[in-house]
Chain A
């Protein structure tokens, strides 16, 4: 796919650093899994068959329109709507009117959001629970979706159930750069929190984060986080040292 006068691609360029070649090569390999693709393909084709419209368009869009961006993904009403839509769509693709009807009927549940629930949004969320009736975990999944970032959390919870060496490696790395690069250490703890919100090393993460905030001169943030730590882990062995550092 490269004409003769085109530059050599980075992965083949001996003048590029090995690290950069590795990055590009790795990025090329970051394709979704076949399971992800199978579910996605079904979802897109069902959306097309149901006549759903894109939730985002390149053209300017009126505020509050029915095609508004899916910022209210976590709302309970949306989840109920998603389950309803998934159920409707699982019985046939000619259900466009029903989906819109469901959206209208359930929209008041999302009244806390400035964004009105859309059929498109409903379908987006529906992918988390579809296909209805084929998984024994549907009920649990639907409950999980009532939480913000529910998908990430449920995924994180699954990881947290067993000790994860990557979790340790993240914090070891954060600890290693704590003195020389507290900003980076803090970023790594944030990454840990995102990936392992209920990880086995949550206490250690918090201790490193508080230390990093201290070193960055963010005393108020450090104290606030230290207080939260005290409430969450009142019996922690880290408490005395933390309290000392936060005086």
Chain B
């Protein structure tokens, strides 16, 4: 039985052991998405937990019109947006916060990765919530556009438009931060 079927069969009183499967199946990816939706590293666990608590409380609202994944990400996007709206969070740009497993990778490599991560996070920070959500779901979570439209609650064409705008803004931001990093694509040749 799939995790979507678990919710549809027993929407109000899904027993915990079954819901556990949903957590196991989706938590890793929601965690990653929350990180790139601008949730502070130190708060990811709390917000990710809230995603599942909200999902568990509202499971009766899940009708299977969209995938369970879209539904969960929709909750995650709203919670991340609320998290970012808090003033003390909004002013902070996640930089090198994600845990670097220094012992697993050579130090300079780790530092280069940190630089890439910093520049990327700054670029993401410059997107508004709507564009950021579409960008993260498409480029990082590999959703298709139909799933994205369901998760963020917009028409598909709007999702396309947001993705296009987000890509331009991200490229601009990277160019502004590191002009030499914008070179090298085939269109540059």
Contact of B142 among A1, A14, A37, A195 (CB under 8 A): A1
Say yes or no: is B50 at the interface (Cβ < 8 Å to chain A).
Answer: yes
Cβ–Cβ < 8 Å partners of A27 in chain B: 32, 36, 117, 120, 140
Q: How many angstroms from the CA of A96 to the CA of B47 in the assembled complex? A: 21
Give chain A's interface secondary structure class.
helix
Q: How many angstroms from the CA of A164 to the CA of B57 in the assembled complex? A: 45
Contact of A7 among B48, B78, B163 (CB under 8 A): B163
Contact status B185-A15, CB under 8 Å: yes
Cβ–Cβ < 8 Å partners of B185 in chain A: 13-18, 20
When A41-B27, A54-B54 are in contact, do A20 and B45 touch as well, CB less than 8 Å?
no
Contact of A17 among B23, B31, B174 (CB under 8 A): B174
Q: How many angstroms from the CA of A173 to the CA of B95 in the assembled complex? A: 15
Contact status B57-A53, CB under 8 Å: yes
Q: How many angstroms from the CA of A85 to the CA of B42 in the assembled complex? A: 20
CB within 8 Å of A: which B100-153 residues: 100-102, 107-108, 110-111, 113-117, 119-120, 138-140, 142-147
Chain A nearest CB, measured from B169 CB (Å)? 12
When A24-B139, A41-B23, A53-B57 are in contact, do A32 and B178 touch as well, CB less than 8 Å?
no
Contact status A23-B35, CB under 8 Å: no
Say yes or no: is A49 at the interface (Cβ < 8 Å to chain B).
Answer: yes
Contact status B117-A48, CB under 8 Å: no
Contact status A169-B111, CB under 8 Å: yes
Contact of A40 among B31, B54, B83 (CB under 8 A): B31
Say yes or no: is A28 at the interface (Cβ < 8 Å to chain B).
Answer: yes
When A31-B31, A56-B50, A191-B96 are in contact, do A24 and B140 touch as well, CB less than 8 Å?
yes
Contact status A56-B83, CB under 8 Å: yes
Cβ–Cβ < 8 Å partners of A9 in chain B: 138-139, 142
